[in-house]
Amino acid sequence: MRVSWLLLLAAAGLAADAESVRIALQSRTSAEVAPLAPAPLLRLVLTEKRPAGAAFAGELSPRARFASCRLFGKDALLAFDAPEGTEALGLLYASGGKGAQRGRAVPTAEGFTVRFDAVPCAGGLVNLVLAYRGRDLAEATLAPAEHRRGRGFLGGTVREVLLVDGDGDGRYDGAADRWVALRGDRAAALPPLALAGMMLLAEPQVPFEEDGRAFAVAAVAADGSACVLSLDAPRVPAARVIERRHAEIRAEHFARFRREEAALAAERGLDRARPRVASPAAWPLRTLAEAKEEARRARKPLLVHFFTEANAYCWLAEYCTYPDREVDALLRGCVLASIDSDKDTGKSYQALGLKALPAVVPFTAAGERITFDLGVRGADGKITELKGEQAITGWHRPQEFALNLRRALGR
C-alpha cells in the first residue's frame, strides 16, 4: 500500500458499483481519539547498565533502568527512574524529549502501573506503561501516541475513521498498521479499542453490512494525511478477520491471566491443583445452522459458546475452565462451536433469548435445546439451584461448570 496521493484513487481498484470517499486525516494523540487506547506495541527489555548516548537523562538514582528500541525509523533510548520520594509516580527520560516526565500511578492486584502519555521521543510521541510488582519495576511497554483521525459520509451515515501506526515506523501504510471506521453513536458508546480489536489495512471491517458489502481502506497516503474509504464486496472473508482478531485478543488476555494467576485464584477460589490438559478441545467459529448440521451428522450433542471480544470473562472461561481435565473430557464427547454475538449476522444470541455472557447452550444431536437445572455459586459460596434453565450463563469455576455440563448432558 505504499503509494503516493496522486495514485490513491487509481490504486484503490474499486468495482464500478462500489461507494468510496476520500477522507482527510488529522494528527491526534490517544487522549483525543477516544475510544482508542492501543495495546502496547513493544515490550522493552530493561537493563541496569547505562548505555552510551544516555547523557540526556542526567544524574539518576541506583534504581534507574534503561531500554533501547527502534521507533519512527530511529534508534531511541529511554531511562526510567524512581528515586526516593517519587516512587509512586516514577520519572521517564527519552531521547529527543525535554527533561523528566512524571507518570500517573494506578493500583493493581500485584502492585501498580505508571502511565506516561504523549511523551516526545525519537521525533514522535509515545505512550509508556511501567508495571510494578510490589516495589519492583517488572515490565515496560510502549506504543505510539499519535494517530490519524478523520470523518466522511459513506453508506448513508457519517463515519469516524482512525488509523494507528501499528509498527511504529512513522508511516501509516504498513502491513501491521490498523484502522477502524465507526458511526458517531458507536464511537461514543464503545469501550476502549486495543490494537487487536482493530482491522489490519488489508482487512475489511466486520461485521459486514446487511447487503453483504463491507467497509475497507482502499488506499492510504504513507504519512497518514488521507485515505480512501470504500464500501464494496469484501475481498477477505469475515471468518478470517474474526479468527485473526480473536487469536490476538486471546493472547493478550492469556498473558494477563498468567501474570495475575495467583491473585485470581485467591479472589475467585480456584483450585490450582486441579489437573489441566495441554491441548484443550477447540471451539471452532461456526454459525448456529452450521453447528446444528455438524451435530446431526456426528450424532452427538452440541455445545455452542456465545461470547464477545470485549468480555474478559469469556476469555477467562477459555483460559481456566475449558482446559480443566474433567471439563475437557466432557467437551470431547460433543460437537463444539463458538459464536461472537457482536458479529453474528444471524442474531442467534438474541433469538435464543440469552441475557448474559459467556453462555454455553446445549442442544441434542437433533438440534433441540436441552432443559436442565443450573447450579450457581453466590457470593456467600452457596449453590443456588435454578430450575428449567437452557444455558450455562456467566463464568463458572471448572468444578461447577463440569457439574452443570453433566446435568445438561444427562451424565
The pLDDT of residue 325:
97
Q: How confident is the model at residue 346 (pLDDT cuts 50, 70, 90)?
A: confident
- Higher-pLDDT residue of 295 and 189 is 295
**Average of per-residue pLDDT across 316-334:** 96
Residue 10 has pLDDT above 50, yes or no: no
Residue 3 has pLDDT above 50, yes or no: no
The pLDDT of residue 34:
65
Q: SS3 for 216?
A: strand
Query: Rounded to an integer, what is the distance from CA 393 to the centroid of its chain?
Result: 22
Residue 7 has pLDDT above 60, yes or no: no
The pLDDT of residue 31:
75
Residue 12 has pLDDT above 70, yes or no: no
Q: SS3 for 92?
A: strand
Q: How confident is the model at residue 38 (pLDDT cuts 50, 70, 90)?
A: low
Contact 248, 232 (CB under 8 A): no
DSSP state of 63: T
pLDDT cut 90: percent of the chain above it:
49
The pLDDT of residue 131:
85
Radius of gyration of the chain (CA): 24
Question: What does the pLDDT look like over 371-410, one tens digit per residue?
Answer: 999 987 766 667 788 899 999 999 999 999 999 999 999 9
**What does each C-alpha distance from 402 to 186, 275, 291, 330, 368 come to in angstroms?**
38, 13, 22, 8, 21
Question: What does the pLDDT look like over 56-100, one tens digit per residue?
Answer: 998 898 888 999 988 888 899 999 888 776 555 688 999 988 888
d(CA 346, CA 40): 34
Collect all residues with Cβ–Cβ distance below 8 Å to 176 and sequence separation of at least 6.
166, 167, 200
Please count the other Cβ atoms lying within 10 Å of the Cβ belonging to residue 149.
17
The pLDDT of residue 190:
58
Residue 37 has pLDDT above 80, yes or no: no
Query: Rounded to an integer, what is the distance from CA 99 to the centroid of its chain?
Result: 33
Query: Rounded to an integer, what is the distance from CA 313 to the centroid of its chain?
Result: 13
- The values of phi and psi at residue 409, to 5°, are -90, -5
In CATH terms, 241-409 corresponds, of 3.30.300.160, 3.90.550.10, 1.20.140.10, 3.40.30.10, to 3.40.30.10
Contact 224, 165 (CB under 8 A): yes
H-state helical runs in 30-76: none
Lowest mean pLDDT among 108-117, 184-193, 309-318, 336-345: 184-193
Percent helix, percent strand, percent coil in the chain, to nearest 5: 25, 35, 40
The pLDDT of residue 237:
93
The pLDDT of residue 324:
97
Please count the other Cβ atoms lying within 10 Å of the Cβ belonging to residue 27.
14
**Average of per-residue pLDDT across 149-171:** 90
Report strand pairing: 302-307 vs 335-340.
Answer: parallel
Go through the chain and tell me how many residues it has.
Answer: 411
Contact 91, 100 (CB under 8 A): yes
- Cell numbers for 65: 533502568
Residue 175: which of 199, 197, 194 has the closest Cα?
199
Lowest mean pLDDT among 5-14, 206-215, 325-334: 5-14
The pLDDT of residue 154:
93
Collect all residues with Cβ–Cβ distance below 8 Å to 386 and sequence separation of at least 6.
373, 374, 375, 376
Residue 176: which of 151, 153, 144 has the closest Cα?
144
Residue 5 has pLDDT above 60, yes or no: no
- Higher-pLDDT residue of 326 and 166 is 326
Please report how the helices 238-259 and 261-268 are oriented relative to each other, as an axis angle in degrees rounded to 10.
80
- Cell numbers for 52: 552510551
Average pLDDT across the chain, whole number: 87
Collect all residues with Cβ–Cβ distance below 8 Å to 104 and sequence separation of at least 6.
89, 114, 115, 116, 117
Going from N- to C-terminal start, the domains of the chain cover 7-36+146-235, 42-49+63-144, 241-409
Residue 218 has pLDDT above 90, yes or no: yes
Task: Give me the long-range contacts of 406-411 (CB less than 8 A, separation at least 24).
Answer: 406/330, 407/372, 407/373, 407/374, 407/375, 408/362, 408/370, 408/372, 409/301, 409/330, 409/333, 409/334, 409/362, 409/370, 411/330
Residue 279 has pLDDT above 90, yes or no: yes
d(CA 129, CA 103): 9
The pLDDT of residue 98:
80
The pLDDT of residue 15:
57
Question: What does the pLDDT look like over 228-266, one tens digit per residue?
Answer: 999 999 999 998 999 999 998 899 899 889 888 888 888
d(CA 87, CA 91): 8
Residue 276: which of 333, 322, 331 has the closest Cα?
322
The pLDDT of residue 29:
85
Question: What does the pLDDT look like over 195-217, one tens digit per residue?
Answer: 777 899 999 999 898 899 999 99
The pLDDT of residue 11:
45
Angle at 80 between CA 79 and CA 84, to 5 degrees: 135
